[in-house]
Amino acid sequence: MANTGGPRRFLITGGNGFIGSYVAKVLFEKGYYVRIADIKQTSYFNERISNEVLVGNLCDLVQSTKQMISTTERTLYPSASMTYGLLGPKPTRLLWSRKTELRVASDGIRIVRFHNIFGPYGAWVGGHEKVPAAQLRKALAAYMDPTAQHEIEIWGDGKQQRSIDNCVEAILLESDCSEPINIGSDCSVTIDDLTKIAVQSAGMDVGDVRFRYMDYSRPVGVHSRNSNNEFITKTLSWTPKISLEAGMMKTVNWIRGEMEKMLDGTDKTARTELLSSFRTSKVVYLNRPSITFAILLPITSRGLEGPEKSLKNLRTFAKSLARTTWRDTRELGLVHFQVKIYLGIDADHEFLLRRAGNGEMLNIELLLSEEGIMDVSTEICNVPHSHVCAIWRQCARRAWKEKADYFVLMGDDVVLLDEGWMGDIHEQFTLIAQHKHVLQGMGCVAFTDVTFPGMPTFPVIHRTHMNAFGSQVIPNVFINQDGDPFLFQLYRKWGCSRMIPSRLCNGIGGSLPARYIQQYADGWTFSPLAEAASALETSLATSFPAAIYRVLLPFLDAILALKGSSTCETMFIIIIDNSHCPKTTELEAKYAHRPDIRINESNFRALASRNRNLPVLFLDDDVTPQDDILIEAKKAIRANPQAAGFIGNTYFPVASTVFTNAVHLAGVTYFWDIAAKMPENESDMPWGVTVSQSISSPAVFRTFPKTGGGEDIDFCRKKRDFSVAHGGEGFYPAPHSEG
């Protein structure tokens, strides 16, 4: 609490955590100025709980923290009722006890010790939860899985005693007391009795449940512990106000909601497995190893002006890696990162496999060590030349076996530009898990490539991905192209793909021509993507390309301003079917940070341009779509997910010239609004103009009879036949989707 002359100001370190967020919320609602400092960006509360949030790790600011304490009127120091782990050498009791007393008295520090605090928004799964939340979760899992035996796991013999209550009211008491204070309930309860309350709170009868005691295979803690509240009762006249039963009932309702979010949409098998995992608790070792980032780095000198150039590129990369990871790998706090490079070298590459003078390591390994990169493993890859994806797969498999946490797909001509990217990536995966209610590690995070700012390149995935695909980072269909967008697109179906501001620069193969023949994985957006998605559970992703020849910016402004839906992932792809278009530079300057802008090498025409992407909604560059066209397209797709596609309405401009009058009189626009003329239950429309056409699932067609008239019919018939042959249906009308 600051001692300024104005309104009372509170700084809450760890204010986005469980207890801190409750304290912040109460103070903020009382009208005080609340500043939160935390390593997390957000709390679990949906509403605002503070005036400002500072994100950072205070462990790096020891001197500043000491100075800050001296300027505050009062400092509250929360403590657990017990300590865990080895604390290292201890000074003599007389010395540290006296020193602590002097510091507490001089700095106005107040100390409180918490005893088994629990409640909504607290940890309830993962190993860091308290006993009440753990037993509530297990009881709910038993209740929600009628096929399983009603059995509740208990660590120990159930006779251990614990005290429980909430703490915010006690923390906020006004007092000049400088003595340490216990906050908790002085009424102890056995774990057996606590579990019975949890069973009843979940909606079951205690007589229908059997307790399974884990006497020797799990930690049991001390036998008896409860809070001595004599001092706080006498000094501050405080006693717990919320009964154990009321607190458990309030908490069980919140945990039930969190469990239902995670279970929503899962199939029967996945639901059973998840509920089974909820019925047991994990042992969390506080001295767990660092989080390891595996840099998967294929390296070659082929295609360069000389073999030494590859070593120069590698040294440049190593310098950038050392510089941008220095802080992350040395930062104090709960999370510690480490980086390891997995070099992938062709088996017949004599230059790169030369040993250094000492014979103990390769020249390239010595080079990395000179730049401070000491943890390096080399994979000799017996794969065809230029098969970069095969090298990625081999390196990723080894890193997975060696328990790496994150896998970064890199190239030897990359330069990392911004420090702190390891922490940023780890935080993004945590936020994905929190906001999307998925398992920790599900997702894909990509750097911002300054060469192509709108394109996700050099993705990072978690070992959760490797576990799901049997240690294979990308399917075998990928040779040296398309692996990056495949991973990013895969997780976009769940809204679990992110691009972070941390930048890198890619030289050869990026803005410069590749050093090898680029081999694209034809059709990766179909079977490979569908098969991968089914392994993670199929969902909807919307992507709509606009084929452009003229680059008419006013029309594009309207298209790129379309409103998306909060339940639908939307990606813009612009295809310029004119490699010499003079407006390309202006377009890229204005929009390259948002959509993926692709330029055809030659004039492929409209249908071929559209069909090379992941088409869902077709638009032309001279169409002004309705603002809600994406939302209406999403509604149509979800209503009929097996449809080949959906035909919307397109309206010709009002006849105001001789030409537009002639078009209207000729009747050639009759089919443009065919969706409004067909019955609502129509499930096999013959065709529709592709200007307002959406496709629920793509299909590969390489040849078209003509363009500029008639290709719409050809495409619709091919797409319809493809869909029906693969168990789908024909085209449905989407009369509310208009352009």
* Cα gap 429→117, rounded to integer Å: 27
Alpha-carbon distance values, 140 to 151, 173, 191, 223 (Å): 11, 35, 17, 26
Q: According to the model, what pLDDT value does residue 144 have?
A: 87
DSSP 554: H
* Cα gap 388→353, rounded to integer Å: 17
Name the phi and psi angles at 312, rounded to 5: -65, -45
Q: Are residues 648 and 662 located together in one domain of the fold?
A: yes
Q: Are residues 491 and 505 located together in one domain of the fold?
A: yes
Mean pLDDT on 201-211:
85
Instruction: List, in sequence order, every beta strand (DSSP E) within 487-569.
Output: 497-506, 542-548
Higher model confidence: residue 247 or residue 604?
247
Token couple for 546: 């606009």
Q: Are residues 299 and 258 located together in one domain of the fold?
A: no
Q: According to the model, what pLDDT value does residue 163 have?
A: 44
What letters, b where the CB count within 10 A reaches 16 and e where it falls short, cover 50-75?
A: beebeeebbeeeeeeeeebeeebebb
Q: Are residues 301 and 403 located together in one domain of the fold?
A: yes
Task: Please tell me whether residue 385 adopts helix, strand or coil conformation.
Answer: coil
Q: What are the pLDDT digits (tens) for 408-424?
A: 998 878 999 999 999 99
Amino acid at 518: Q
Q: Are residues 562 and 495 located together in one domain of the fold?
A: no
Among 230, 250, 278, where does a domain finish? 278
Q: Are residues 312 and 406 located together in one domain of the fold?
A: yes
Q: Are residues 438 and 387 located together in one domain of the fold?
A: yes
Name the phi and psi angles at 573, rounded to 5: -130, 125
* Cα gap 226→214, rounded to integer Å: 22
Given a cut of 60, whether residue 218 has pLDDT beyond it is no
Higher model confidence: residue 435 or residue 560?
435
Residues 6 or more apart from 441 whose CB is under 8 A from it?
A: 429, 433, 462, 463, 464, 465
Task: Please tell me whether residue 32 adopts helix, strand or coil conformation.
Answer: coil
* Helix 244-263, helix 268-278: angle, nearest 10: 150
Among 231, 250, 278, where does a domain finish? 278
Token couple for 539: 């969902």
Q: According to the model, what pLDDT value does residue 177 have?
A: 62
Query: Is residue 730 a contact partner of residue 644, using CB atoms and an 8 Å limit?
Result: yes
Q: What are the pLDDT digits (tens) for 84-135?
A: 455 555 555 566 666 666 566 566 677 776 666 777 888 888 777 778 888 8
Q: Are residues 698 and 590 located together in one domain of the fold?
A: yes
CATH code of the domain in which 420 resides: 3.90.550
SS3 labels along 499-521: EEEEEEEECECCCECCCCCCCCC
CATH code of the domain in which 152 resides: 3.90.25.10
Q: Are residues 273 and 302 located together in one domain of the fold?
A: no
Alpha-carbon distance values, 28 to 23, 48, 52 (Å): 9, 9, 11
What letters, b where the CB count within 10 A reaches 16 and e where it falls short, cover 329-359?
A: eebeeebebbbbbbbbbbeebebbeeeeeee
Alpha-carbon distance values, 363 to 66, 118, 168, 308, 353 (Å): 47, 56, 60, 11, 7
Given a cut of 70, whether residue 207 has pLDDT beyond it is yes
Q: According to the model, what pLDDT value does residue 116 have?
A: 66
Q: What is the mean pLDDT of the chain?
A: 74
- Assigned domain for 368 exists: yes
For the chain, the domain total comes to: 3
* Helix or strand (DSSP H, E) at 646: strand 645-649
CATH code of the domain in which 623 resides: 3.90.550.10
- Assigned domain for 69 exists: no
- Assigned domain for 72 exists: no
Q: According to the model, what pLDDT value does residue 541 have?
A: 35
β 189-190/161-162 pair status: antiparallel
Mean pLDDT on 472-500:
88
- Assigned domain for 207 exists: yes
* Cα gap 652→111, rounded to integer Å: 74
Q: What are the pLDDT digits (tens) for 345-364?
A: 888 877 778 886 666 667 78
Q: Taking the model in full, what pTM does it have?
A: 0.47
- Assigned domain for 610 exists: yes
- Assigned domain for 703 exists: yes
- Assigned domain for 29 exists: no
Mean pLDDT on 51-73:
68
637-641 long-range Cβ contacts below 8 angstroms, 24+ apart: 637/540, 637/542, 637/694, 637/696, 638/540, 640/683, 640/696, 640/729, 640/732, 641/696
**DSSP codes of every residue in 65-120:** HHHHHHTBS-EEEEEESS--S-------HHHHHHHHHHHHHHHTEEEEEE-S---T
Q: What are the pLDDT digits (tens) for 595-628?
A: 556 666 655 555 555 554 444 566 666 667 767 7
Mean pLDDT on 483-493:
88
Range of the domain at 731: 542-738
Q: Are residues 305 and 358 located together in one domain of the fold?
A: yes
Amino acid at 646: F
Mean pLDDT on 57-70:
60
- First-to-last C-alpha distance (Å) of the chain: 58
Cα pseudo-dihedral 141, 142, 147, 148, rounded to 10: 110
Q: Are residues 499 and 556 located together in one domain of the fold?
A: no
Token couple for 67: 């100075």
Q: Are residues 554 and 507 located together in one domain of the fold?
A: no
Mean pLDDT on 690-695:
55
Give the other-Cβ count within 10 Å of 420's Cβ: 17
725: confidence class by pLDDT, cuts 50, 70, 90: confident
- Assigned domain for 11 exists: no
Task: Please tell me whether residue 152 adopts helix, strand or coil conformation.
Answer: strand
Among 502, 536, 570, where does a domain finish? 536
Q: According to the model, what pLDDT value does residue 424 have?
A: 92
Residue closest to 343 by CA, chosen among 296, 385, 410, 400: 296
Residues 6 or more apart from 429 whose CB is under 8 A from it?
A: 440, 441, 443, 445, 462
Q: According to the model, what pLDDT value does residue 153 have?
A: 80
What letters, b where the CB count within 10 A reaches 16 and e where it falls short, cover 227-256?
A: bebeebeeeeebebeeebeebbeebbebbb
Q: According to the model, what pLDDT value does residue 542 have?
A: 35
* Cα gap 493→265, rounded to integer Å: 13
* Cα gap 329→293, rounded to integer Å: 10
* Cα gap 720→726, rounded to integer Å: 10
How do the residues of the chain divide into helix, strand and coil, expressed in percent and rounded to 5? 35, 20, 45
Rg of the chain over Cα atoms, rounded to whole angstroms, equals: 31
* Cα gap 389→518, rounded to integer Å: 12
Residue closest to 125 by CA, chosen among 267, 263, 244: 263
